């Protein structure tokens, strides 16, 4: 009987990839089984995007998980599509009243539209434009118009550390992300605490003791307590600080949003030679009755998303989601609208969204639900999208920057991966792309919801290191 070499060749080339794939699966399962984690508490998805016939691994892909900051991938990708890569947040400074000589007999109005990158430098530039109109004295008040967003939360309920920068609540008006930077400087056996900006209404009390212990987990050894009085905010620092720490710093949200903006406004105006003795209030005056003095535009969205994803900026991503809703639905958005907006967007894109629940754009929530497959769909859409370079470039680069700057330092994918991280109490996650040894693009998703989730970082990196060498 003659041998059909063509048939044998065909069978050989069909069999080899299957055998290789089976071996790869065994290697991955071997790694997973070497850890004591409950395997129902995580999802793992691996896919070779350069060669779909090669490695593909799915575990708990349809089960919903809390993905923490991986939600920012969704928020930024939606924003690039809905707002466009050239979108910029706009802030306006107006006067209300008459300017007579060097005196404004009326109010200064600041209208914000969600720019979480708005800084002291930006505000000072706008105030200098007001000074360039000849105004030196303001006989009126500062009016803050944050009506671009709807009713927003005023009480932080996420955890018991409400002053941390990650907990700052969304607002149409934001200055320095509503945070003050505190530097701890050891000087001749004394610990100095320097506040930036240094505001007249902020009083810092330092009761921290110095010691010679190691500097590990230095933040956990410091306590801070805020006390608000009529026209002054006091922050009390207690605990201990090691001399071995040298200089450290922490950003804290100490003042209420409006008070912070007002105190900074007053300080900058006086520094620029002005006079102001008014107060501040929130209002939404008719723009037709106002005189536009200055307009500030943020950097374009394609640049801003790098800060959001690389450094996992919660305020900016929460404001970004609300901006999308406001711009698309022509409403003053609030976070009660987020989940329906996201599910409608999935529906309009033709994506499966069963059990999907997103209640803010940052993923700072205990209620987030998204499956590995739903996230995989977003990542694959990113990979095939015309704006793929902008999106992928916004992810942290392994061992180089962002939240991965100090991870994977000795990994074979050092500088070869763009991966977004996410973590909350009982949540640890990573998702994105990396090149394997053959320079093929690998999609990787890992999400664990478990009391031991922080310990899964080693598992994540071991999987990635193994996948790098697989066929």
Structural domain spans, the chain: 5-86+302-469, 90-153+257-298, 180-252
Is residue 94 a contact partner of residue 293, using CB atoms and an 8 Å limit?
yes
From the CB of residue 239, how many other CB atoms can be counted at a distance below 10 Å?
A: 14
**Residue 21 CA: distances (Å) to CA of 17, 139, 380, 397, 446:** 6, 76, 21, 28, 20
Contact 433, 442 (CB under 8 A): yes
What is the side-by-side order of every strand in the sheet holding 248-252?
190-196, 180-187, 248-252
Sign of CA dihedral 53, 57, 61, 65: negative
Q: Is the pLDDT at 385 greater than 50, yes or no?
A: yes
Alpha-carbon gap, residue 186 to 431, rounded angstroms: 39
How large is the average pLDDT for residues 392-414? 97
Highest-confidence segment of 10-24, 75-89, 153-167: 75-89
Interstrand relation of 248-252 and 103-111 (parallel, antiparallel or unpaired): unpaired
Exposure string for 103-142, b = 16+ CB within 10 A, e = fewer:
bbebbbbbbbbbbbbbeeebbbebbeebeeeebbebebbb
Cβ neighbours, 10 Å, residue 73: 26
For the ranges 5-19, 64-78, 348-362, which has the lowest average pLDDT? 5-19
pTM of structure: 0.93
Q: Compute the distance between CA of residue 438 and CA of residue 124 in angstroms, rounded to an integer.
A: 52
Give strand pairing partners of 89.
none
Query: What is residue 4's predicted lDDT score, i.e. its pLDDT?
Result: 58
Which pLDDT band holds residue 3 (cuts at 50, 70, 90)? low
Q: Compute the half-sphere exposure of residue 14: CA atoms within 13 Å on the CB side of its CA.
A: 6
* Cβ-based neighbours of 230, under 8 Å, separated by 6 or more: none
CATH number of 5-86+302-469: 3.40.710.10
Q: Average the pLDDT over 138-143 and give the result.
A: 98
Strand partners, 435: 441
Identify whether the C-beta of residue 378 lies closer than 8 Å to the C-beta of residue 74.
Answer: yes
Answer yes or no: CATH 3.40.50.720 is held by domain 90-153+257-298. Answer: no
Residue 107 DSSP class? E
Are 309 and 395 within 8 A, CB to CB?
yes
Pairing of β 280-282 and β 142-145? parallel
Q: How confident is the model over 315-337, as pLDDT tens digits?
A: 999 999 999 999 999 999 999 99
Mean pLDDT across the chain, nearest whole number? 93
The stretch 238-245 carries a mean pLDDT of 92
Give the model's pLDDT for residue 320. 98
User: With 60 as the cut, is the pLDDT of residue 17 above it?
Assistant: no
């Amino acid at each position: 009987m003659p041998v059909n070499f063509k048939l044998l060749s065909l069978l050989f080339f069909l069999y080899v990839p299957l055998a290789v794939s089976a071996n790869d699966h065994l290697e991955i399962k071997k790694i997973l089984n070497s850890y004591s984690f409950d395997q129902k508490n995580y999802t793992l998805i691996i896919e070779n995007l350069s060669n779909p016939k090669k490695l593909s691994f799915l575990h708990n892909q349809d089960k919903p998980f809390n993905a923490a900051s991986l939600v920012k991938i969704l928020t930024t990708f939606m924003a690039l599509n809905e707002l466009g890569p050239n979108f910029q947040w706009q802030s306006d400074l107006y006067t209300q009243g008459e300017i007579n000589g060097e005196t404004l007999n009326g109010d200064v109005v600041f209208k914000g539209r969600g720019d979480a990158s708005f800084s002291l430098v930006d505000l000072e530039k706008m105030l200098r434009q007001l000074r360039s109109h000849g105004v030196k004295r303001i006989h009126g008040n500062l009016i803050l118009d944050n009506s671009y967003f709807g009713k927003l939360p005023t009480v932080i309920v996420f955890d018991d550390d409400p002053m941390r920068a990650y907990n700052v609540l969304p607002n149409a008006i934001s200055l320095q992300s509503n945070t003050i930077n505190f530097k701890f400087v050891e000087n001749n056996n004394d610990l100095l605490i320097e506040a930036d900006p240094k505001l007249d209404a902020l009083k810092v009390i330092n009761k921290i003791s110095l010691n010679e212990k190691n500097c590990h987990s230095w933040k956990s050894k410091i306590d801070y307590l805020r006390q608000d009085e009529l026209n002054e905010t006091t922050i009390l620092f207690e605990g201990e600080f090691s001399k071995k720490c040298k200089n450290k710093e922490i950003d804290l949200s100490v003042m209420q949003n409006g008070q912070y903006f007002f105190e900074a406004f007053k300080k900058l105006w006086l520094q620029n030679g002005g006079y102001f003795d008014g107060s501040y209030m929130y209002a939404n005056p008719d723009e037709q009755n106002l005189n536009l003095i200055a307009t500030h535009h943020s950097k374009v969205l394609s640049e801003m998303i790098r800060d959001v994803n690389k450094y996992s900026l919660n305020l900016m991503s929460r404001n970004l989601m609300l901006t999308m809703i406001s711009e698309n639905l022509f409403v003053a958005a609030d976070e009660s609208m987020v989940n329906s907006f996201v599910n409608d967007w999935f529906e309009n894109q033709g994506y499966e969204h069963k059990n999907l629940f997103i209640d803010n754009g940052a993923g700072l929530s205990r209620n987030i639900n998204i499956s590995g497959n739903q996230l995989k769909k977003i990542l694959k859409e990113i990979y095939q999208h015309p704006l793929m370079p902008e999106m992928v470039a916004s992810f942290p680069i392994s061992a180089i920057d962002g939240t991965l700057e100090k991870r994977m330092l000795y990994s074979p994918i050092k500088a070869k991966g763009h991966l977004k991280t996410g973590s909350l109490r009982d949540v640890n996650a990573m998702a994105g792309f990396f090149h394997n040894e053959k320079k093929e693009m690998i999609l990787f998703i890992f999400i664990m919801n478990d009391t031991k989730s922080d310990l899964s970082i080693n598992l994540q990196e071991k999987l990635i290191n193994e996948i790098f060498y697989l066929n």
